[in-house]
Amino acid sequence: MFCRDLRDIPKNAAVRRVNELVKRARTAKVHSLVCACLRKMMPGMFGKEKKQKELLQNLEIIFQAVAQEHGISPGDFPDADVYREKLTRWTGTGR
């Protein structure tokens, strides 16, 4: 049993690396789809700041819409509060 576990360590490490790579790919895909959706919903000329705040408040609804439209599991999405905080810092809408 112990020898078999030792022998399987390299194989398990490779499996963990692949799983981590898949997780990062899913995260990147979700992020790009959410950003594309947010960009599509932004106005062209006027009212950008107001619309940004509205979109940030409705982030959970946007996550649901993106998940449904693209067939993505809701578990692949980040925590909405953490994502909102990062977007707020990045866009500067919280100032």
CA distance 21 to 91: 28
Report percent pLDDT > 90 for the chain: 64
- CATH code of domain 2-91: 1.10.268.20
Q: Where does the chain have alpha helices with state H?
A: 2-41, 48-57, 59-70, 80-91
pLDDT band at residue 12 under the 50/70/90 scheme: confident
What is the arithmetic mean of pLDDT over 52-78?
Answer: 95
pLDDT band at residue 4 under the 50/70/90 scheme: confident
pTM of the model: 0.78
pLDDT band at residue 6 under the 50/70/90 scheme: low
